[in-house]
Amino acid sequence: MSAFKSPNAFADPEDSQLVADAKKERVEPAEHSFTERDVILYNLGIGATEKELQWVYEGDDEFSALPTFGVVPQFAASSGLSMDWLPNFNPAKLLHGEQYLSIKAPIPTSGELVNDVRRVVLMEVLDKGKAAAVTTIVETRDKRTGQVIFENQSTVFIRGAGGFGGKRNGNDRGAASAANAPPKRSPDAVVEEKTSHSQAALYRLSGDSNPLHILPEFAAIGGFDQPILHGLCSMGIAGKHVLKTFGPYSDIKVRFAGVVYPGETIITEMWKEGGKVIFSAKVKERGTTVLAAAAATLVEGSAKAKL
């Protein structure tokens, strides 16, 4: 069943008037056309190598997009949602908090997708006191067939933008908000990957052009010593580790717990729990956790999922 039962499907009696009014806003339908070149660019952006021809050569018999490519088409829509209604909104103070991606159908390697106006809405807005937490939901469809390919739920934190009243704690959104605490045992698998110093410069070409990831002076306003790697790039790298170790998955969720600086090494620790892989990621050089409360639901029947 679609979550979009009506234009006011996410109205909440606990919302302040400010939030209630913001939830009524709609953005124009946003189309996303892409080619095999865009798929390769994304795959390279999350560390696919020249030896992995299924991800970097369009002539390979098994050429495909890595699963987390699903976060890319929704940028055209989510970027159209204004945050200016929040008090003291400053884009340099915005940090990506959580991301949930559900893959509803096979991912095409080229085509035309559309983020429908009825499918782009504010799902939840929380007043965290000194910050606001804003969750949006986007459904992306095949323009020709109307089939839903992806659902994204994105939560961002805007520091300094709280104090507007209303809800402080979010609702249970199933897999999209699950705690995913790692089991009290050693990981079943560990994968280590060093990012390149130009990783953020490459990844931003897939559509996430926030200057926080390229401009030193903008990063400084956000309180960082240098531009940081996109959280979604870290998610893509860890998601690639899950795929290579345990096989394909139908959804993936992460909480962005820390930052990666381009050039640092990401270590992904994974625990298989039934049909789910719980994972976390940390930076080797600083011992800092960067992805937490993370999990992917494996596709039933895939060979690796039975490991």
Domain segments of the chain: what residues?
12-168, 178-307
Fold match between domain 12-168 and domain 178-307: yes
Q: Which residues make beta-bridge pairs with 181?
A: none
228 catalytic, yes or no?
yes
208 catalytic, yes or no?
yes
Q: Which residues make beta-bridge pairs with 100?
A: 153, 253
The arithmetic mean of pLDDT across residues 18-33, rounded, is 80
231 catalytic, yes or no?
yes
| Percent of the chain topping pLDDT 90 | 70
CATH class (in words) of the domain with range 178-307: alpha beta
Q: What are phi and psi of 128, to 5 degrees?
A: -95, 20
Q: How far apart are CA 223 and CA 242, in angstroms?
A: 31
Average pLDDT, the chain: 90
Which tens digit of pLDDT belongs to each residue from 89-122? 888 788 889 999 999 999 999 999 998 655 557 8
Asked if residue 180 lies in contact with residue 293, where contact means CB atoms within 8 angstroms, the answer is: yes
CA dihedral (275, 281, 284, 287) positive or negative: negative
Residue 250 predicted with pLDDT over 50:
yes
Q: Looking at 32, 213, 230, 241, which residue is catalytic?
A: 213
The arithmetic mean of pLDDT across residues 168-181, rounded, is 92
Range of 22-26, 83-87, 200-204 with top mean pLDDT: 200-204
Pick the CATH number of 12-168 from 3.40.50.300, 3.10.129.10, 3.60.10.10, 3.30.70.360: 3.10.129.10
Asked if residue 297 lies in contact with residue 273, where contact means CB atoms within 8 angstroms, the answer is: no
pTM listed for this prediction: 0.91
The arithmetic mean of pLDDT across residues 48-57, rounded, is 98
Which tens digit of pLDDT belongs to each residue from 126-166? 999 999 999 989 999 999 999 999 999 999 999 999 988 88
Asked if residue 94 lies in contact with residue 12, where contact means CB atoms within 8 angstroms, the answer is: no
Q: Looking at 103, 107, 158, 228, which residue is catalytic?
A: 228
Instruction: Name the residue with higher pLDDT: 19 or 288.
Output: 288
Q: Looking at 15, 38, 208, 251, which residue is catalytic?
A: 208
Per residue, the 3-state secondary structure of 74-97, as one string, reads CHHHHCCCCCCCCCCCCHHHEEEE
